[in-house]
Structure 1
Amino acid sequence: MNNVWIVVADAARARILSCEGRACSNMQDVEALSHSESRAHNQDLVSDRPGRSWGSTGGDGRHAMQDPTDPGVQERDRFARQLAERLREAHHAGSFQHLVIVAAPSFLGALRELLDRQVAQTVTAEIAKNVTKVEKPADLRKHLPDFLY
């Protein structure tokens, strides 16, 4: 029988569940990952306020410089990279044959870009929904299609 992994994730936490077959009965927790830095406020992620510079169009005014990237986005991408690597390792170890991803929309996009090509080919469903706070596997099953592959 085919083993299915279900990844439920957002930018700060991920939960991996496993089940057997197309109907995905008897879902069980495999692993939980968390990334507390993604929950932090931007001001807590950077050490200083942005610097100041002179206006580029002349004049005497000075302006605050803006960070080139959002620290929160950087942390989200770092966690997506960590999760993608974990999925790659598990796939190469033969832990699953099919993958279902249920993730917050912005995190789903970041994770999709970072998935290994072989892992991406095992994805049978993607659901852009944040259900990370759903605890019981039976309640989580309600958010999934009837047949997973």
Structure 2
Amino acid sequence: MTKMYAAIARRALVVAALTTFCFTGNLLAQNKAIGFKQGAPFSEGYIAGNTLYVAGQQGPDAHGKVTGTDIALQTTNAIAAVKKVVEQAGYQMSDIVSVTVYVTDLADVPAMNEVYKKLMADPKPARATVQVAGLIGGAKIEISAIAVKH
């Protein structure tokens, strides 16, 4: 009897190990970078399992430059840049569950909120807003996001 139980236990362990390997292997196979720019030290987004991590987006103009000091315009462009990464990854704006907004001046938050309320999908994702000393390129705002496929 003991040998029979030992054989059953060994088979169960092998099945469990193979199932874990296959499941983990499938998750790893789904991981991929989104919007990697040659020479850049990061990807615009990264999919891990069913989660998309969107790098901070500033929303430059068509020439790749941050335009003006208008927080409303920069917010519009930053959200458009987030949307581009989200959709390129096969997600929707409604899949976003968390956002971090970096601003160089907290006085800009009310104007940023007006644009944000109009452009971000409902229900609004969880959000943190942080004032920073400065952003690359002289931007006034940068937005990062996390999206999860439901």
Q: Report TM bin, short chain.
A: 0.3 to 0.5
Structure (1 or 2) with the greater strand fraction = 1
TM-score, normalization by structure 2: 0.34
Structure (1 or 2) with the greater helix fraction = 2
TM-score, normalization by structure 1: 0.34
Higher alpha-carbon Rg: 2
